[in-house]
Amino acid sequence: MSIHARFFLDRGDFTLDVDLEIPGRGVTALFGRSGSGKTTVLRCLAGLERIREGRLTFNGEIWQEGRRWLPVHKRPLGYVFQEASLFPHLRVRDNLLYGFKRLPVEQRRLKLDEVVDLLGLTELLARYPDELSGGQRQRVSIGRGLLTSPRLLLMDEPLASLDGISKGEILPYLERLRDELSIPVVYVSHTIEEVARLADHMVLLENGRALAQGPLQALLTRTDLPLAHSEQAAAVIEGTVAAQHTLDHLTEVAFSGGSLLISHQDRPVGAPQRLRILARDVSVALERPDSSSLLNAIPVTITQISDDPHPGHVILNLAAGEQQLLARISARSCRQLALSPGQPVWAMVKGVAVV
């Protein structure tokens, strides 16, 4: 199962020229600066941009090739915009059911109760849109899209118009959508924190072209890409909750390279837990420190040492089991410790800094 897209669009001042292979499940993020072509790619996938030079197949079905063109209303997809755009005269329940009622019964794959439970909308069903917060409106918009039973969900910066509190409110619901539904999602964002929290796969766009594409974890730690050299350079670790240390308000997360203690997360033991660890919050030691305020010491192996845009820093790629960490340290420390690729060291991680 996969989506293959080949789009070429020349607008004079902007050219889109991409060849994309998008997995048929999970969340794929289209990431890049403003003007890189993210929304244009999404509109091409939806059929909102009718371009002459293009090919699009969805799980083997041809949606576009030469003169063959599947119109927007025949593409089994949902589209969530930056603004919720709910019908102001309809209550939440009727907004949710607007597309659902127009869908043939045999094509309805999701039920109202399922979507309401998934997005936590039970208490909102009788309200009108002007009685909702921004995050609540966006959850209703997502629910309305899901109730059209799409086989592909497109989301165009759905959190861009929300404040920090509203973003924090809606992100757990987007994680549930990713974890509990089998619908592939293509998610546009220019915020790396969102991408790191939600995406499984990433397409890095720059000036209308795909600079790189692949699994999120791999792209974040590739030092030939700008992500690993930015101020927010980070690695993503996939693990599971191993224990709750309630006395200390800490959660222990196990992964292939060991375990990490982080600030308390309200998740049951055994639940999946994704961690984003900033390179600036990782230091290294030749031996495991006996006395330190840092809670986490993980045995790792240096796989690569790269120059950083800051002349006094270097970036270390560290193998932690089957996963990767990044560490940004001073070039002086690298020289004094005589660090080199292939060397086993200890990675020291601040638990309170892990997000």
Residues 6+ apart with CB under 8 A from 107: 149
C-alpha–C-alpha distance, residues 316 and 285, integer Å: 13
Check which CATH number belongs to the domain holding 287 and give it.
Answer: 2.40.50.100
The answer to whether residue 226 sits within a structural domain is: no
Check whether residue 241 and residue 212 sit in a common domain. Answer: no
Compute the residue count for the chain: 355
Mean confidence (pLDDT) of the chain: 90
Check whether residue 41 and residue 126 sit in a common domain. Answer: yes
The answer to whether residue 123 sits within a structural domain is: yes
Give pLDDT, residue 149. 86
Nearest to 129 by CA among 113, 110, 143: 143
235 pLDDT exceeds 80? yes
Residue with tokens 């700008």: 226
Better-scored residue on pLDDT, 68 or 186:
186
pLDDT average, residue stretch 286-296: 83
Query: Of 167, 192, 220, which residue sits at a domain end?
Result: 220
C-alpha–C-alpha distance, residues 45 and 43, integer Å: 5
The answer to whether residue 225 sits within a structural domain is: no
Domain interval for residue 264: 234-353
Structure-block tokens of residue 318: 């560290």
Query: Which residues sit opposite 285 in a β-bridge?
Result: 346
**Terminal CA-CA length for the chain:** 32
Nearest to 22 by CA among 280, 172, 169, 199: 199
User: Is 151 within 8 Å of 70 (Cβ atoms)?
Assistant: no
The pLDDT tens digits of the residues spanning 94-132 come to 999 887 787 777 777 788 888 898 888 999 999 999 999
The pLDDT tens digits of the residues spanning 13-33 come to 899 999 999 998 899 999 999
240 pLDDT exceeds 90? yes
304 pLDDT exceeds 90? yes
Give pLDDT, residue 111. 86
Helix (H) or strand (E) holding 115: helix 112-119
Residue with tokens 């546009």: 188
Query: Of 195, 220, 245, which residue sits at a domain end?
Result: 220
DSSP assignment string, 51-101: -SEEEEEETTEEEEETTEE--GGGS-EEEE-SS----TTS-HHHHHHHHHT
Q: Give the 3-state secondary structure of residue 317.
A: strand
Check whether residue 292 and residue 328 sit in a common domain. Answer: yes
Q: Give the 3-state secondary structure of residue 158.
A: coil
Check whether residue 209 and residue 328 sit in a common domain. Answer: no
User: Is 80 within 8 Å of 141 (Cβ atoms)?
Assistant: yes
Determine which of 38-42, 84-88, 253-257, 339-343 has the lowest per-residue pLDDT on average.
84-88
Check whether residue 197 and residue 251 sit in a common domain. Answer: no
1 pLDDT exceeds 70? no
User: Is 321 within 8 Å of 246 (Cβ atoms)?
Assistant: no
User: Largest alpha-carbon pair distance within the chain?
Assistant: 69
Structure-block tokens of residue 207: 């000036």
User: How does DSSP classify residue 157?
Assistant: S
